[in-house]
Chains A and B, each alone.
Chain A
Amino acid sequence: MLVAVAFLPMDASAQTFAAVVLLALLWICRVAADGEHQNTFRLLVLVIGGFITLRYLAWRGTYTIHAADTLSLIAVLLLFGAEIYSSAIHFLGGLVNVTPLRRPLLSLALMPRDMSIPTVDVMIPSYNEDPELLEVTLRAARMMNYPQGRFRVHLLDDGGTDDKISHPNPDVAAKARERRTELKALCARLGVNYIARAHNERAKAGNINHALQLTNADLVVILDADHVPTVEFLDRTVPWFMRHDDVFLVQTPHFMVNPDPIDRNLLHSFSRMPSENDMFYRVVQRGLDFWGASFFCGSAAVLRRRHLDEVGGLCGDTITEDAETALALHSKGYRSIYIDRPMVAGLAPETFTGFVTQRMRWAQGMTQILLIKRPFMAPGLNAFQRIGYLSSILFWLFPFARVIFLTAPLAYLIFGMEVYHASIAQIIAYTLPHVIATYIIADLLFGRTRWPLISELYEVMQCLFSLVAVFKVIINPRAPSFVVTPKGATLESTTVSPLAWPFYVLFALILVGCAGGLYRWEAYPLTRDMTTVVMLWNLFNLVTVLAALGALLERQQRRATPRIPVSETGVLRDAHGRTSSCTIEDLSASGAGLAIADETEPVFHGGERLTLSTFSPAMGRTLELPVVVRSAESLGGRVMLGTQFDLTEPHHGDEAVALSYGDSARWLFFQERRSRPIPFAKALGIMLRLVWKPLFMHVAVLSRRLGEGFTASARSGRAPAPP
């Protein structure tokens, strides 16, 4: 019925009036959705906002799709296609997230005493990660609260396979041998089972499936090498399997303890702004869970072995084995559970290259699922599960739409192609309300987990690379191979990402578009209205690309293990027994940043050995950790001490890990603190403030690089002349 009304014809002036009334209602409902009867008002926002978008599409499709020539028609259709895609994602998003589900927190302690506690295999697949990083994960896995003897930790080392050891390249073979020896020793030291296979077949899925053949516990926990679990991980997840036989998966969020490269390089808002993946893990997965479609995300999850065995272990037809496996098991009628409590802390890729590598894999894998597994017609799924999977998968086709939105204004401003046939009155009547309605709905659904304009930035940053990657999959769906996301990388100095050049081209094109727009504005007075609108669109793209350029300036990163911002109290004691209370400002498994009052006695110096006493909720007791002062600096009336844990005693290693990673309440607090909405104007202001400085820094870095090039060539030119 709404569709029929959306297609009812009415002139722009009347449509403007209707749109104003609808937007006013939408706004009222949006405000009311935060109060009582929020479910009803939430629905009203979605329906009215969706109707405004539907009305826009009806108008676009009915009246504006025409062109003077074939080329323009192609451009017109591409733009409309991109809008249809975006709206489809918008509608699917609205449907999926109409009422996100919050599961109750269960615990083994709440289970009937006579109920048998299942055995668990904790599997940590690894490929090329540093042993130091693995050690933290392994220690944390060992320390999970679960009945002794009921779980075992396995390190699945794909970097030390027989294939690698006997690699034709002697350097590669030597490194693999060295890695296997080192990791075996580490596992032996920590009481972890080391598993290496003969061949590197089917990447991560093959690695886990190999381990499944060697183990036999009821449940399987998958943790990525950098995913450090808190002590309560098993306690909170396993009860779901005990209560429901048909549950094949309990998935928990991936909580990132370091900013992703866009945040790190540009936004600098790690502790103030919701993380990029918060939207997915805090809203979308819960929304999917309501419809029984939350899926496996590759790590931080527990799976039932019996169900896995039914589908031959983890599926490996695509490079996103996680979603593929979940799809296969959902198709068999089994259920998934999503628990919105961060109990695993991981690392985001540090560099933009790593970030793009990760996202290209996801985009390719999801496209593979779309093409090979066809979830929209997979047997065994109900309609809502199909919609859920379709929503999750189609999202990854965003590069098509995003590239079109970036280039469409250029088609008009540079080439004069009319890709959007509308008068200003019609833009006010249809386009503007659609944009506002979309914003209000996004604010309702994701306002606390995704700030305005941030999605655009992340999509712009990925679109150029993902577009090519997705195209490759479309051409040959089985071609992509699994590429491990590099983590824990360091950067000695600030540099420009090697992936920056497409953005330079895009930036230059948009600047040309601006110049073209100014020319058109001057030369074609009759089309000034339209030129102004397209210029504004192009300027928006310019700001986004400028921001992208800022994020492409890879900032210096010397610390391989990120420090997590915390605010806890402790006591420092020196060799003479003198104590001083301190605040722990940041923390990692290898050290902590401490703050003490400036005038406090005693005064600590660099290299001094101290003992840090602090309470660990994970261990349930006060820990005594030996630390070495690495730096001391007065700052704002306080002395900031950079300390490193002295982990020569094995139990200190466990305690440091428990202190830094063991408590999920800390992650929850951290997550809640930064989950806050901001208005669009503020987001725009932040973006505008941020984008200019990196531009100049780009120039400076490139100039420096150019200068170094000149110097190098000058030096080579001063080579001694032959006698």
Chain B
Amino acid sequence: MPRTQLLHLFRLALFAFFVGGAVSAAEAAESSQREMRLSRFSTTQGPVRLTDVSSSVDLFVPVSPLASMKDAAIEIRFSHSIALQERRSYLLVRLNDISLAQVPFDPKQPVASARIRLPDDLWRSGFNKLTLAVIQHYIDNCEDGNAPELWTELKLHESNLEFSLDTDERPLTLRDIAGVFAPGLGGSERALLMTSSETEADAVVADALPLLAQALALRRQFAPLQFDYARWPAQANDTALGGISYLPPEFAGKPHVLVGTFEQLGAILPGMLPEAVTGPHLSINRSESISDAQGSVIVPSSVRIIVSGRNATEVKEAAAALAAMDDPLNPIAETNILAQTLTPETLAPYHARVLHSGQAYTFAAMGLATRRFQGFGGHGAQLRIMMPPDYYTHDSAQAELFIDFGYGAGMGPGSVINFKLNGDFIHGRLLDDPHGTSFRGYRIVLPARRLMPGPNLLDIDLMLRPETVIGECAGIDGRHLTAQILGSSRLVLPEFGAVATQPNLDLFGTTAFPYLATTREQRATLIAGSESEVGSALTLIGKLAQVASTAHDAWHLKVGLPDGSIEGSAVVVASAAQLPDDLFDAWSIAIGRSVRWPYQALNDVREAQATPERSILDMLIRHFRSDSATPNRVPVLRGSVTQSAGLGPLGALTAFRNPRSSTAATLTLITAADADLVQARVADLVKPELWSQVDGDLMVWENVDDPVFTLRVANTFETGSQDPWLLLRLVLSNSPWYWLGAALAAALLIVITARALLNRRRRRLEDRAGRAPADA
């Protein structure tokens, strides 16, 4: 299977794995034998139904490189058709393409289970492919391969994977950082970031911690990583026997990151040699375990990552290097960064993650290399098109797909290729040449506005069917069917600009907009209400880095809400009591010391958009009655109740126009009743099942199991700086009265001027006509 396809499947499996809830490495390590439902490794909801003579499903089980699977087995429950032949129908189990078991089907017992041991030596670090396949027959001769009798249902939610994990105690190198925070079984879900308690450490906190949080979260891919933040004491505990303990007791034995200058680290790592830190410094090791006098371990050994330098700037550079680092290239325990370059200097790494205006990209460049499809049935490929989050273009712009594809001979009726963009059908073609054919640059034009800001999915679905043959027992199995999508296919994008309507939490959830930018000039401010919320704030921006698939080095962390201005867009993570009331003055919601709720009874919470003009009269009436500031021209019911009670157990995520910024900017606020609740709610929020529901401009939740409450209540505004022309288009499109007024004013001016000039000429002509010849 091609690498890109595998990667895609891995991603899906990983997403499913974490939606289902992963077993943390800590949990796994602590208990000898664990059990997980197989459904956690599947992307499909409910049981998996396998039909036809032969079909299979692949489950991907991720395992951290620092852990090894022991004594694994699966217990699988399934049901199958009672029409299946006993001797010729069976379930096949493979691990990493090695067949392990064949379970025969008994038509007398259509509901059955089987337990299969998965040998330790077949497991490998990273993704392991567990294949469940069926071979099914219901008759010996003239069998219809698509007969409805041929089915087996795998009840994955009732099937389990049993396993235990062994942790690898070998000396660590920097390439093991990916293993420590691996998204699979054995990876850590939580990280403690520590800085010095000295005031000088504030600069480190402001610039290095956001980078570090993003760097570590990116190693977890889609999996959430919760951060905790603590300062090490100026004078660490010198335990009598074992060594120096600087970890808070609850984090003993847990992976942690020490961030500080060499001098600051000296307080807790007195043995660290000055020559080790000659610049931005990264290292990884295990802290020594500390035992009491009886030899009992009171502080177990733990993974320790050190991010250091001779000054705060170097610490930040070390964090940036960690964010950029490909771990497999660093089989060393420590390193000093000599230089980092990134040109052009104005661009941020996010620039490389999105597609750009007026450019053409091959599918291979976007991650879809040449794909071949073989055999009867449905096939598909998916291309992820990452548009900038502030992507906006005019309504005449067109994007073009130039597809290079082909299919082999012998296609029969019903063979088709369909293209869907974000689930919407855009093009289809019959594969109807019996001799097969190939196309180069098969052009599909689509309005550029069909592409959405952020990630877009282009699905290429193929159905391959053999030719129909008439006659008894006649039929072609379709193994000869083949089709191909080439990676040289291209997407040609029109010119577009960077304009967006804010606030938009949906865009925030899918692209991290407006906080991830393609340029370094755009600084993003992260404000934690106090040091207690720093961990939560870092957890959040770690998630944003995952969403954008890159770290943004322009984050600036501030502790404590400033009284003055907050320029530009900012994320505020604070408890409700820390939020000043003036922040909410211009908004119908307040989540501070008092709470103002726009209750549903007082608000029209339906998301309605202006329908296409039913009639010209209808359109005119709508526009004449309009409030030009809102795109929806129908008055919307709005109201609120202000209360003294707090948020209780709820967490709230909101976005609105930053009232303390002199420019149009967004303020995103995450809050809960107190710091602990903030941490708990943020930990829930970054989980895929909650994060995927981020929408509107207010979202309130309690935990992952309860329903999420979303609202769209804030007035929208437009932001954008790269293309004022497009910004003007957006403003005029929302308020065509401006355009119309200018047009009519200009028309009147011309008419008045022309009238005067024409009258003058007419008078002159009349005078001339009346003159005597002598005057002529």
Instruction: Give the B-binding residues of A (Cβ under 8 A).
Output: 1-2, 5-6, 8-18, 20-22, 24-25, 39-40, 43-44, 47-48, 51, 59, 62-64, 66, 68, 98-99, 101, 103-104, 115, 242-246, 290, 418, 421-423, 425-426, 526
Q: Is the CB of A2 within 8 A of B739?
A: no
A5 to B744, CA, bound (A): 10
Number of interface residues of B (CB under 8 A): 48
Among A17, A22, A62, A115, which residue has its beta carbon within 8 angstroms of that of B623? A17
A501 to B407, CA, bound (A): 47
Q: Is the CB of B747 within 8 A of A51?
A: yes
Among B394, B400, B619, B771, which residue has its beta carbon within 8 angstroms of that of A9? B394
Tell me, rounded to whole Å, the shortest Cβ–Cβ distance linking B429 to chain A.
10
Q: Is the CB of B396 within 8 A of A8?
A: no
Proximity bits, B28-51, A CB within 8 Å = 1, else 0:
000000000000000000000000
Nearest B residue to A2 via CB reads B746
Q: Is the CB of A245 within 8 A of B761?
A: no
- Knowing A5-B739, A18-B740 are in contact, say whether A47-B725 is a contact too (CB < 8 A): no
User: Within 8 Å of chain A (Cβ to Cβ): is B601?
Assistant: no
Q: Is the CB of A246 within 8 A of B394?
A: no
Q: Is the CB of B396 within 8 A of A18?
A: no
User: Within 8 Å of chain A (Cβ to Cβ): is B620?
Assistant: yes
A448 to B765, CA, bound (A): 25
Nearest B residue to A6 via CB reads B743
Q: Is the CB of B746 within 8 A of A9?
A: no
A47 to B754, CA, bound (A): 10
- Knowing A11-B394, A18-B740, A526-B427 are in contact, say whether A47-B619 is a contact too (CB < 8 A): no
Tell me, rounded to whole Å, the shortest Cβ–Cβ distance linking B148 to chain A.
31
- Give the residues from 716 to 739 in chain B that come closer than 8 angstroms, CB to CB, to chain A: 725-726, 728-729, 732-734, 736, 739
Among B623, B734, B749, B772, which residue has its beta carbon within 8 angstroms of that of A243? B772
Q: Please name all residues of chain B whose beta carbon is closer than 8 Å to the beta carbon of A13 when the two chains form the complex.
A: 610, 612-613, 733
New A-B contacts (7) at CB < 8 Å, excluding given A51-B746, A243-B771: A14-B736, A20-B616, A24-B620, A48-B747, A245-B773, A246-B776, A423-B395
A101 to B725, CA, bound (A): 44
Chain B CB count within 10 A is highest, among A5, A14, A63, A425, for: A14
Q: Please name all residues of chain B whose beta carbon is closer than 8 Å to the beta carbon of A43 when the two chains form the complex.
A: 751, 754-755, 758
Once A and B bind, how many residue pairs between them come within 8 Å at the CB atom?
125
Q: Please name all residues of chain A whose beta carbon is closer than 8 Å to the beta carbon of B755 when the two chains form the complex.
A: 39-40, 43
Among B395, B750, B776, which residue has its beta carbon within 8 angstroms of that of A426? B395
A196 to B13, CA, bound (A): 103
Q: Please name all residues of chain A whose beta carbon is closer than 8 Å to the beta carbon of B740 when the two chains form the complex.
A: 18, 21-22
Q: Is the CB of B613 within 8 A of A16?
A: yes
Among B400, B426, B447, B772, which residue has its beta carbon within 8 angstroms of that of A423? B447
Proximity bits, B383-406, A CB within 8 Å = 1, else 0:
000000000001111101000000
Q: Please name all residues of chain A whose beta carbon is closer than 8 Å to the beta carbon of B117 when the two chains form the complex.
A: none
Among B397, B747, B769, B771, which residue has its beta carbon within 8 angstroms of that of A47? B747
User: Within 8 Å of chain A (Cβ to Cβ): is B470?
Assistant: no
User: Within 8 Å of chain A (Cβ to Cβ): is B443?
Assistant: yes
Q: Is the CB of B736 within 8 A of A51?
A: no
Listed A/B pairs (17) with beta-carbon separation below 8 Å? A1-B746, A5-B739, A9-B732, A10-B736, A12-B395, A14-B732, A16-B613, A16-B619, A17-B619, A17-B623, A20-B620, A21-B623, A40-B751, A47-B750, A99-B758, A101-B765, A115-B773
- Knowing A5-B742, A9-B725 are in contact, say whether A99-B776 is a contact too (CB < 8 A): no
Among A2, A17, A47, which residue has its beta carbon within 8 angstroms of that of B736? A17
User: Within 8 Å of chain A (Cβ to Cβ): is B762?
Assistant: yes
A478 to B619, CA, bound (A): 57
- Knowing A9-B726, A39-B755, A426-B396 are in contact, say whether A18-B743 is a contact too (CB < 8 A): yes
Q: Please name all residues of chain A whose beta carbon is closer than 8 Å to the beta carbon of B732 when the two chains form the complex.
A: 8-10, 14
Q: Is the CB of B725 within 8 A of A290?
A: no
Q: Please name all residues of chain A whose beta carbon is closer than 8 Å to the beta carbon of B728 when the two chains form the complex.
A: 8-9
Q: Is the CB of A22 within 8 A of B773?
A: no
Q: Is the CB of B398 within 8 A of A421?
A: yes
Q: Please name all residues of chain B whose beta carbon is closer than 8 Å to the beta carbon of A425 when the two chains form the complex.
A: 395
Among A5, A62, A68, which residue has its beta carbon within 8 angstroms of that of B743? A5
Tell me, rounded to whole Å, the shortest Cβ–Cβ distance linking B523 to chain A.
30
A64 to B445, CA, bound (A): 13
Among A1, A8, A99, A243, which residue has its beta carbon within 8 angstroms of that of B762? A99
Q: Is the CB of A47 within 8 A of B733?
A: no
Q: Please name all residues of chain A whose beta carbon is closer than 8 Å to the beta carbon of B743 when the two chains form the complex.
A: 2, 5-6, 18, 22, 51
Q: Please name all residues of chain B whose beta carbon is closer than 8 Å to the beta carbon of A423 when the two chains form the complex.
A: 395, 447
Q: Please name all residues of chain B whose beta carbon is closer than 8 Å to the beta carbon of A39 when the two chains form the complex.
A: 755, 758
Q: Please name all residues of chain A whose beta carbon is closer than 8 Å to the beta carbon of B400 when the two chains form the complex.
A: 68
A11 to B732, CA, bound (A): 8
- Knowing A10-B736, A18-B739, A22-B743 are in contact, say whether A104-B769 is a contact too (CB < 8 A): yes
Q: Please name all residues of chain B whose beta carbon is closer than 8 Å to the beta carbon of A66 when the two chains form the complex.
A: 398
Q: Is the CB of B773 within 8 A of A244?
A: yes
A244 to B4, CA, bound (A): 90
A298 to B275, CA, bound (A): 105
A10 to B395, CA, bound (A): 9
Q: Please name all residues of chain B whose beta carbon is closer than 8 Å to the beta carbon of A51 when the two chains form the complex.
A: 743, 746-747
Q: Please name all residues of chain A whose beta carbon is closer than 8 Å to the beta carbon of B447 when the two chains form the complex.
A: 423
Among A44, A63, A68, A418, which residue has its beta carbon within 8 angstroms of that of B747? A44
Tell me, rounded to whole Å, the shortest Cβ–Cβ distance linking B151 to chain A.
34
A423 to B398, CA, bound (A): 11
A70 to B375, CA, bound (A): 39
Q: Please name all residues of chain A whose beta carbon is closer than 8 Å to the beta carbon of B746 when the two chains form the complex.
A: 1-2, 5, 51
Q: Please name all residues of chain B whose beta carbon is closer than 8 Å to the beta carbon of A64 when the two chains form the complex.
A: 396
Chain A CB count within 10 A is highest, among B397, B619, B750, B776, for: B750
Nearest A residue to B400 via CB reads A68
Q: Please name all residues of chain B whose beta carbon is closer than 8 Å to the beta carbon of A5 when the two chains form the complex.
A: 739, 742-743, 746
Among B396, B620, B749, B768, which residue has its beta carbon within 8 angstroms of that of A422? B396
Tell me, rounded to whole Å, the shortest Cβ–Cβ distance linking A40 to chain B.
6
- Knowing A10-B732, A14-B733, A18-B736 are in contact, say whether A47-B396 is a contact too (CB < 8 A): no
Tell me, rounded to whole Å, the shortest Cβ–Cβ distance linking A95 to chain B.
10
Chain B CB count within 10 A is highest, among A11, A68, A245, for: A11
A233 to B733, CA, bound (A): 61
Chain B CB count within 10 A is highest, among A21, A22, A242, A422, for: A21
A10 to B736, CA, bound (A): 8
A43 to B758, CA, bound (A): 10
Q: Please name all residues of chain A whose beta carbon is closer than 8 Å to the beta carbon of B747 when the two chains form the complex.
A: 2, 44, 47-48, 51
